[in-house]
Amino acid sequence: MSFENRPWVEKYRPRVLDEIVNQKGIIKRLKQFVKDKSMPHLIFAGPAGTGKTTSGLAMVRELYGRKMATNRTYLELNASDARGIDVIRTYIKDFAKARPPADIPFKILILDEADNMTAPAQQALRRTMERYTKNCRMILICNYSNKIIPPIQSRCVVFRFASLNNVDIKGRVKDVANQENIILTSGGLNAIVDVSRGDCRRAINYLQSCGTISKKIDQEIVFRVAGELPPAKIKELLNTALQGQLQLSIKLLNDLIKEYGLSGQNIIKNLHKEIYDLEVQENIKIELSKLLAEFEYRLSQGGTEEIQLQALLAKIVLLESSE
Q: What is the CATH number of the domain that holds 131?
A: 3.40.50.300
Distance separating the N- and C-terminal Cα atoms of the chain? 61
Pair (275, 185) in one structural domain: no
Pair (241, 222) in one structural domain: no
Q: What is the CATH number of the domain that holds 180?
A: 1.10.8.60
Please give the chain's pLDDT, 323 residues, in tens. 334 556 888 888 888 898 888 888 999 999 999 999 999 999 999 999 899 999 999 999 898 887 776 667 888 887 666 666 777 777 888 888 888 887 788 999 999 888 888 888 888 888 888 899 999 999 999 999 899 999 999 999 999 998 888 999 999 999 999 999 999 999 999 999 988 988 899 999 999 999 999 899 999 899 888 888 888 899 999 999 999 999 999 999 999 888 888 889 989 998 998 898 888 889 999 999 999 999 999 999 999 999 999 999 999 999 866 65
Pair (243, 310) in one structural domain: yes
Q: Say which DSSP state 108 is in.
A: E
Pair (149, 173) in one structural domain: no
Q: What is the Cα–Cα distance from 24 to 124, expressed in whole angstroms?
A: 34
Which helix (H) or strand (E) segment is 139 a member of? Answer: strand 136-142
Pair (104, 201) in one structural domain: no
Total domains, the chain: 3
Pair (213, 183) in one structural domain: yes
Pair (7, 133) in one structural domain: yes
Q: Cα-flanking dihedrals φ and ψ of residue 46, to 5°?
A: 155, 175
> At 179, is the secondary structure helix, strand, or coil?
helix
Pair (219, 285) in one structural domain: no
Give yes or no for a contact between 148 and 114, defined as CB atoms under 8 angstroms apart. Answer: yes
Pair (69, 114) in one structural domain: yes
Give all strands of the β-sheet with 156-160 in edge-to-edge order. 74-78, 107-112, 136-142, 41-45, 156-160
Pair (250, 222) in one structural domain: no
Pair (107, 241) in one structural domain: no
Q: What is the Cα–Cα distance from 323 to 311, expressed in whole angstroms?
A: 19
Give yes or no for a contact between 211 and 58, defined as CB atoms under 8 angstroms apart. Answer: no
Pick the last residue of a domain from 160, 184, 204: 160
| Strand-strand pairing, 74-78 and 107-112 | parallel
Pick the last residue of a domain from 201, 226, 251: 226
Pair (129, 274) in one structural domain: no
Query: Residue 313: which domain range?
Result: 231-321
Closest-CA residue to 45 (of 200, 156, 196)? 156
